[in-house]
Chain A
Amino acid sequence: MLLCGMLFLYGQLLAQSKTISGKLIDDKGNPVPNASITVKGTSLGTTSKEDGTYSLSIPANSKILVFSAIGMAEQEITIGDRNTIMVTLSNQLNTLQEVVVTSLGITRDKRSLGYATQNLKADQFVDRGQVNVVSALQGKVAGVNITNASGGAGSSVNINIRGISSFTGSNQPLFVIDGVPISNEVDRTNGGPLGTLGDNQPPNRAMDIDLNNIESINILKGPAASVLYGSRAAAGAIIITTKKGSGQKGRAEIIVSSNESFQRATGLPEVQNEYGQGSNGVYSNTTTNSWGPKFGSTPTVANGLIQDGQTIAYNPYPNNIKNFFETGIISDNNFTINGGDAKQNYTFSAGYLYQKGILPNTSVKRASVKFGANTVLRDKIKLGGSVTFMNTLQDGVLGGNGQSALGVVHGMPRSIDLQAYKRDKTWKNPDGSNNYGVASVENPYFGAYENPLKSSLYRIIGIANVGYDITSWLNINYRLGVDAYTDRRKQLFAVGSGRVPAGQTLDNPIYRSEVNGDLIITAKKNDLFKDVNFTGLLGQNINQRRFQSVQIQGDNLSVPNFYNISGALTLTSGSQETSTLQRLVGYYAQASFDYKNYLFLELTGRADQSSTLPTDKNLYFYPSVAAGFVFTDAFEIQSDVISYGKIRASAARVGRDADPYLLKSVYVKSSYGNNVANFNFPLSYTPAGAFGPTTVAGFGASTRLAPETPLEPEFTTSYEVGLNASLFKNLITIDVAVFDQVSKNQIINVGLAPSTGYSNVTANVGKMTNKGIEALVTIVPVNTRDLRWEVSANYTRIRNKVVSITPDITSFPIPGSAFTGSIPTIKEGSPYGVIVGGLITKTDDGQRIINPATGTFQSTVANQILADPNPDYQMGFTSNLKVKNFSVAFTFDFIKGGQILSFTAAAYKSRGALKETANGRDEPHILPGVIADPNNPGKYLPNNIQIPAQTYWQALGGLQSEFNVYDATTFRMRDISIGYDLPRSLMDKMKISSARISVFANNVFFIAPNAFFDPQVNTQGAGNIRGLDLQSVPNARTIGAGLKVSL
């Protein structure tokens, strides 16, 4: 049909008799390419070339030419008897006319879109002390939820657009740079014997992108917006456009920028400094608790302060926790040259970022070099491409509860002079073993300095583009994108370390690559029918993704401090390799119609063929339809109240394929046990009576079973309606969307009863819904040459519900859950990711029942919802004020609701370190609750059983206790940036075109009314598990200054 239309158009071009030529330029004198030139009232027309020139044959009786281009005000010019017409088109001031980059790098007038997108320009997120492009978006985008893992250097950032739509698949959006999808994976290195708990916090790989190179970011929110990207963008897409040299009018621009900032940990709980290490009021160096005697107590044998006739040194160290977190430094420098003109241009940029983390011995170093160039040959062939090379080094410290540095530091005894170990470098004894003030506990500095995890990543992103204008209305384009990286990781455990006393070295190279080839044929025709403009697109996508993780684990290090695999006595414990290859071929078509520039209709269809689905059922199709109606234009409403109004609606379905290798049941090399005792095949043993050892292999059925019925793709169906409006002469602009998504046919490993002999089976099951409202309101109270003030507010409210799983299964854990007792769970009837654990037994009216024999809580009832991490709603508020050369921009965000289970809080309480634990320490305490009335079975009396403070706080401080679930409501000043552009007069003297100095701060302050710590952390980082603070690295505040000079 599309081709037929093209043929029809071809025929229309035949009746012509006069030639008009000329050139289109914009306000700045730059040529305007791809502008539309039509003879008014006819279907005749052409588009301007790259250099802005055009030539059009018209009937002799033609009167008026209409010139229009995306983002420019339309102009009508009477032809008269001229043969040459030069036109200057002015840029549209109305923000709603903005041009946005959508799927596949296609630029579109935002006016024509039938779905929600939100575009951010660089100045809305640079100069704020951010390292990771994802956290740079925090608080600024409606419909998007972003949570940092922590303030640790290089820790990942989770981003979900419009909620979570896949039970166990990735819910991170697709990241696209200049039209090419790239990896934003988080690769975890197994924390050795600590398992998933012992991981450091690895980055989401979008962190490799240098923010300085970004021109703009467009967020495609719903399936309708991202459908052309297919399965990959089922969770939305982040479209990043980098800077190019196209606007330079032939001269080269050199930009040098430098930002220097400092970081400090924030949100640490307040601690008490009245009682030191001990239990039950008696000093003991075997406990991690501060339930010892009061400082200043007279030393006696009874209180433990005199031992073997010696008086124990016993003093408070009020800052021993706070000072473990160091002052971080971020130094971000970039050098960029952009040059050329619209036809031939190039860009070169080199950036280096150094971040010293807030944890000892942690850092991130990121270097990137980019070269890009574009050219046009013979006015018909466009060639372009870019190569970006990145090297990111991360030095991390293992986290998690248990004997990690952080597990030990949080709530540590108040009487240990922790920093002395660092000052004197005495965290280890001369024999190499751990030295700390608590027997058998690893010194946090030992963990930080002796057990590091280092990562060195080399990454290359290459993009090549060839376009050919077959005719003025038909273009064929091929784009090839390659993103490949190798992350060489090494994790060490020193001989003498707490968890791995025999020492361990783990070499873990991780390789990922992604290749995308897109063939896109576009046809554009104005006045396809009367007043109907048409754009058609046909395309094919070939995608290949490879992954390889090789893990070589050497245990039992024979030579201390020699971390080479050759020094290890055992190589088989955890050594393994995982490789995956998956491919996808997609075919897509899109037809867009535009009636009189006020009614828009877009039909899109995509069919994907995936290697991960059964061969005979691997092709799946999904359509979308989107419409926009600018009612103000249609009804010619010209009012001071409403100057622009558009309603839009879309319906879309998007499919998602499976992970590789799920179609067959397999066998795995066997292992047993966990961090307290473990066994891995092969077994090397000496049979009775034999002289030498024998080695035997052991395999077992994988705990996952293959699907019983052929696997099908997952589908998400989305309906969206929205409104864009400009009110009061563009003083206020509004963008509101309401959406309703249903995700079905989820591909998950459904949990099985353990006695079946298996843990789960892969199947298509379940249904989950997301309903939401998102709104963005922008107000420009003042807009003059010298003073511009823009404020905007965004609001997001999403309601997620797991409607069903299977008839037999009503809940199962999210993969990667680490602790029995607090399991992030997919539970029927609840929002995604509730944390399931034990709740204290309560009476019918909800009072906690106290055991009369102990005075503490009776028992817990298992399998209850402990916490729900999903917020009620969230809001962002940004302000950009420009007064002459000064600019002030800041962002606030407010997250209402959502809960977090905090192991950190538990540690401060149960260890007696929290400030409140010193209140009335020596007085009896009574837990809130009731006791059974002995005289009245079934009735309860208020609890009156007195217990010591230690018992009381330890009852409240159970790791997985409901008392450590906190409301995560947080109001935060996310960032502020104050800039000054040096005056032009001065610039001219110094022969530089512009210079800007700025000071900024990030995570300026926060108010969390219901938590004594910062509840906006997520220890497991980017991924589907949320709402757990597993003795996490705290968030960090960044303060810095920047200088940017353009020559």
Chain B
Amino acid sequence: MRKLILFLLILASFSSCKKYLDVNESPNNPVAVTPGVLLTNTTVGIAFANANDLNRATSLIMQHIAGTASQAADYDKYKLEGYFDNQWNLELYNGVINNLVKIIDEHGAENSIYKGIAKLQKAYAISMLTDLWGEVPYSQAGYGLKFLTPRFESQQDIYLGNTAEGIQSLFDLVREGIADLDKTPNVLKPGKDDIVYGGEVDKWKRMGNTLLLKFALQISNRNPALAKTIIDDVITANNFINSNSLDFEVPFGGSVGNQNPLYSFNNVNRTTDQMLSTRMLALSRSLNDTVRLAKYFTKVNGAFVAYQNGNTVSAPTAANRSKYNTFVTGSSGEAPVRMLTFAQVNFILAESALMLGTAGDANTYYQAGIKANMTKVGMTTTEIDTYFADNPTVVTLTGSQENMLNQIITQKYISWIGNGIEAFNDYRRTGYPVLTLPLNAAGHNPTVVPTRLTYPSGELQRNPNTPNPITRTDVKVWWAK
């Protein structure tokens, strides 16, 4: 009898456990979300990646600024190895690319507009990766366990596609994205969660077409004919960014944790790491362009205080140096991160008219580009007109094709203060503006300006497809001059 009771007791305790043990649903994290919260994430992620460490490294290499301490001082001297794990891992592949894949694959079938925007963003993010590192994972990236060791694909294949390998060209990815914007169904439509264009599909189409312009120009050294065709097509269709208000830029907030990384780095956390470059200041002075420079950089007691790139002497204190002004950072970190601009469009069209013979007058675009940027940075119409009147040789393309190209890229270079990545792209494509090596240059090759970044150690450690030994920083990327 006792035996039986005991047995029943044990039996009872077994059967009641099932419910008792059913407590493994996490109260901390959702298992499903809407595409809208993913899109805000990827949008901010792209901008953050664009304005954080990658921006610092390229702005230092491009000598908009000079490094005075810590990593910034290293980048300034071309010491690039061993960095960028966070950018590659946590900003781009683990923050942007994987979530864009989620939007496209898991939400795309029901939500075409989200899918279209995601494809445009993906094209932009992948172009950032390949432009900076050359061969990078693309077709197999961001799919989790589906591809455990994503293939590194050549920059040529990424831009132009490779059917045999199943690689879609970035151009086709953009075209598909634009096409998706007009498709149905759309169970959910972007609105407030589209922090760039507020869900206005037409503006995304302009962004997409502008991407085509940028990509086409990027590959123009390797395939000028294709570049010309694409640019002419976009000009004909006439649906690209055609005013400063349509710029592809991502807004940030003014409170802690919401700020543009350019602000949190330069104005809050690392106030003594970098400042205006002596070379940037000299260029600006040589072009009589310091009114505009003052929009980009602060003055100390009415004067610019700059630092020589690569120098090791004591730098002025944070309060006594010229650093990014509110146009770049915002007064409390609310400045947007600017990625595709109307000024850029004009400079693209100027360069392609000059170099590829696309439609339009190079000089007209050139001047429109300067004006668009001057307006954007906050110069008054009077200031702009005065500058144009006083400096006719600067604002007019003259001389040889090379000289005119130098003029275009130099102006574009000034317009990119705050976005070193694009300035670095233009430099590697054209060789302009002409840079002088920093003092104490080091790194893989202290005798040339680096032409790419080095692969981060995390990918090297865990992906056997990573080129090993890692490609040196003096090896040119495919589209470079």
Residues of A at the B interface (CB closer than 8 Å) are 3, 7, 193, 279, 284, 286, 439-440, 499, 501-502, 521, 540, 542, 555-556, 569-570, 572-574, 577-585, 587, 609-612, 615, 618, 660-661, 663-668, 670, 672-681, 683-688, 693-694, 696-703, 705, 708, 751-759, 761, 808-809, 811-812, 820-821, 838, 853-854, 859-860, 862-863
With a cutoff of 8 Å between Cβ atoms, the chain B residues found around residue A820 in the complex are 82, 85, 457-458
Residue pair A683, B37 in contact (C-beta under 8 Å) = no
Residue of B nearest to A861 (CB): B469
9 A-B pairs closest in CB distance: A757-B98, A573-B257, A753-B463, A757-B142, A677-B261, A666-B29, A755-B137, A661-B26, A555-B256
The CA of A675 and the CA of B273, in the complex, are separated in Å by 14
The CA of A680 and the CA of B253, in the complex, are separated in Å by 11
B463: contacting residue among A685, A755, A761, CB under 8 A? A755
Beyond A683-B44, A754-B458, is A808–B256 a contact (Cβ under 8 Å)? Answer: no
9 A-B residue pairs with CB within 8 Å: A615-B22, A666-B28, A666-B31, A667-B33, A677-B259, A696-B192, A699-B33, A752-B462, A755-B459
Q: Flag the segment in B57-65, B263-271, B354-362 that touches A.
A: B263-271
Residue pair B31, A611 in contact (C-beta under 8 Å) = no
B24: contacting residue among A7, A612, A679, A693, CB under 8 A? A612
Does any Cβ of A come within 8 Å of B453's Cβ?
no
Q: B371 → chain A, closest Cβ, in Å?
A: 20
Q: A686 → chain B, closest Cβ, in Å?
A: 7
With a cutoff of 8 Å between Cβ atoms, the chain B residues found around residue A812 in the complex are 462
Beyond A672-B90, A755-B93, is A698–B253 a contact (Cβ under 8 Å)? Answer: no
Does any Cβ of A come within 8 Å of B97's Cβ?
yes
Q: A926 → chain B, closest Cβ, in Å?
A: 20
Contact mask for chain B residues 118-144; partner A; CB cutoff 8 A; 1 contact, 0 none: 000000000000000000110011111
Does any Cβ of A come within 8 Å of B187's Cβ?
no
Q: A711 → chain B, closest Cβ, in Å?
A: 11
Residue pair A570, B255 in contact (C-beta under 8 Å) = yes
Residue pair B24, A757 in contact (C-beta under 8 Å) = no
Does any Cβ of A come within 8 Å of B392's Cβ?
no
Residue of A nearest to B194 (CB): A696
The CA of A10 and the CA of B354, in the complex, are separated in Å by 108
Q: B204 → chain A, closest Cβ, in Å?
A: 16
Residue pair A679, B258 in contact (C-beta under 8 Å) = yes
Q: B321 → chain A, closest Cβ, in Å?
A: 12
Beyond A660-B26, A755-B141, is A700–B95 a contact (Cβ under 8 Å)? Answer: yes
Does any Cβ of A come within 8 Å of B237's Cβ?
no
Q: B298 → chain A, closest Cβ, in Å?
A: 17
Q: A630 → chain B, closest Cβ, in Å?
A: 34
Residue pair A757, B44 in contact (C-beta under 8 Å) = no
Q: A684-B253, A753-B459 are in contact. List 14 more A-B contacts (CB 8 A).
A: A284-B314, A585-B21, A663-B24, A664-B26, A667-B31, A675-B269, A686-B253, A688-B245, A701-B98, A751-B461, A755-B150, A758-B98, A838-B82, A863-B460
A756: contacting residue among B13, B143, B317, B442, CB under 8 A? B143
Residues of B at the A interface (CB closer than 8 Å) are 3, 6, 10, 13, 17-18, 20-33, 37-38, 40-42, 44-45, 48-49, 52-53, 81-82, 85-86, 88-91, 93-95, 97-99, 101-102, 136-137, 140-145, 147-150, 192-193, 195, 198, 245, 251-253, 255-259, 261-262, 264-265, 268-272, 314-315, 317-318, 334, 442, 446, 456-463
The CA of A371 and the CA of B193, in the complex, are separated in Å by 59
Residue pair B97, A585 in contact (C-beta under 8 Å) = no
Residue pair B314, A582 in contact (C-beta under 8 Å) = no
Residue pair B44, A681 in contact (C-beta under 8 Å) = yes
With a cutoff of 8 Å between Cβ atoms, the chain B residues found around residue A808 in the complex are 148-149
Beyond A701-B102, A753-B148, is A502–B26 a contact (Cβ under 8 Å)? Answer: no
With a cutoff of 8 Å between Cβ atoms, the chain A residues found around residue B462 in the complex are 751-754, 809, 812
With a cutoff of 8 Å between Cβ atoms, the chain A residues found around residue B147 in the complex are 756
Residue pair A757, B31 in contact (C-beta under 8 Å) = no
With a cutoff of 8 Å between Cβ atoms, the chain B residues found around residue A556 in the complex are 255-256
Residue pair B259, A679 in contact (C-beta under 8 Å) = yes
The CA of A527 and the CA of B276, in the complex, are separated in Å by 93
A687: contacting residue among B48, B251, B265, CB under 8 A? B251
With a cutoff of 8 Å between Cβ atoms, the chain B residues found around residue A703 in the complex are 90, 94
The CA of A7 and the CA of B334, in the complex, are separated in Å by 82
A555: contacting residue among B255, B269, B457, B463, CB under 8 A? B255
The CA of A681 and the CA of B38, in the complex, are separated in Å by 11
With a cutoff of 8 Å between Cβ atoms, the chain A residues found around residue B255 in the complex are 555-556, 569-570, 684
The CA of A609 and the CA of B261, in the complex, are separated in Å by 48
The CA of A585 and the CA of B251, in the complex, are separated in Å by 52
B268: contacting residue among A502, A838, A860, CB under 8 A? A502
Q: B331 → chain A, closest Cβ, in Å?
A: 12
A670: contacting residue among B24, B44, B85, B463, CB under 8 A? B44
Q: A668 → chain B, closest Cβ, in Å?
A: 6
The CA of A668 and the CA of B89, in the complex, are separated in Å by 16
Residue of A nearest to B89 (CB): A754
Residue pair A759, B89 in contact (C-beta under 8 Å) = yes
The CA of A583 and the CA of B99, in the complex, are separated in Å by 33
The CA of A667 and the CA of B38, in the complex, are separated in Å by 10
Residue pair A499, B258 in contact (C-beta under 8 Å) = no
The CA of A572 and the CA of B144, in the complex, are separated in Å by 30
With a cutoff of 8 Å between Cβ atoms, the chain A residues found around residue B264 in the complex are 673, 676-678
The CA of A570 and the CA of B270, in the complex, are separated in Å by 21
A677: contacting residue among B40, B90, B265, CB under 8 A? B265
Q: A275 → chain B, closest Cβ, in Å?
A: 18
The CA of A130 and the CA of B392, in the complex, are separated in Å by 82
With a cutoff of 8 Å between Cβ atoms, the chain A residues found around residue B192 in the complex are 694, 696
Residue pair A754, B41 in contact (C-beta under 8 Å) = no
Beyond A677-B261, A696-B193, A754-B459, is A667–B29 a contact (Cβ under 8 Å)? Answer: yes
With a cutoff of 8 Å between Cβ atoms, the chain B residues found around residue A673 in the complex are 48, 52, 86, 261, 264
Question: Which of A540, A611, A666, A676 gathers most chain B CB within 10 Å?
Answer: A676
Beyond A666-B29, A753-B149, is A672–B91 a contact (Cβ under 8 Å)? Answer: yes
Q: A39 → chain B, closest Cβ, in Å?
A: 27
B10: contacting residue among A572, A580, A587, A688, CB under 8 A? A587
The CA of A182 and the CA of B21, in the complex, are separated in Å by 21
The CA of A501 and the CA of B86, in the complex, are separated in Å by 24
The CA of A381 and the CA of B320, in the complex, are separated in Å by 82
Q: B112 → chain A, closest Cβ, in Å?
A: 21
The CA of A356 and the CA of B458, in the complex, are separated in Å by 43
The CA of A123 and the CA of B88, in the complex, are separated in Å by 57
The CA of A972 and the CA of B354, in the complex, are separated in Å by 78
With a cutoff of 8 Å between Cβ atoms, the chain B residues found around residue A584 in the complex are 21
Beyond A677-B52, A699-B33, A811-B461, is A611–B21 a contact (Cβ under 8 Å)? Answer: yes
Residue pair A660, B40 in contact (C-beta under 8 Å) = no
Residue of A nearest to B147 (CB): A756
Residue pair A754, B93 in contact (C-beta under 8 Å) = yes
The CA of A703 and the CA of B90, in the complex, are separated in Å by 9
Residue of B nearest to A699 (CB): B37
Q: B56 → chain A, closest Cβ, in Å?
A: 9
Beyond A685-B252, A757-B97, is A696–B137 a contact (Cβ under 8 Å)? Answer: no
The CA of A711 and the CA of B90, in the complex, are separated in Å by 27
Residue of A nearest to B17 (CB): A585
Beyond A667-B30, A758-B98, A863-B460, is A697–B44 a contact (Cβ under 8 Å)? Answer: no
With a cutoff of 8 Å between Cβ atoms, the chain A residues found around residue B37 in the complex are 696-699
The CA of A955 and the CA of B140, in the complex, are separated in Å by 41
Residue pair B195, A756 in contact (C-beta under 8 Å) = no
Residue pair A756, B27 in contact (C-beta under 8 Å) = no
Beyond A501-B268, A540-B10, is A756–B141 a contact (Cβ under 8 Å)? Answer: yes
Residue pair B144, A3 in contact (C-beta under 8 Å) = no
Q: B142 → chain A, closest Cβ, in Å?
A: 4
Question: Which of A439, A569, A699, A821 gathers most chain B CB within 10 Å?
Answer: A699
With a cutoff of 8 Å between Cβ atoms, the chain B residues found around residue A609 in the complex are 17, 21
With a cutoff of 8 Å between Cβ atoms, the chain A residues found around residue B140 in the complex are 755
Q: B464 → chain A, closest Cβ, in Å?
A: 8
Residue of B nearest to A556 (CB): B256
Beyond A439-B317, A754-B93, is A862–B457 a contact (Cβ under 8 Å)? Answer: yes
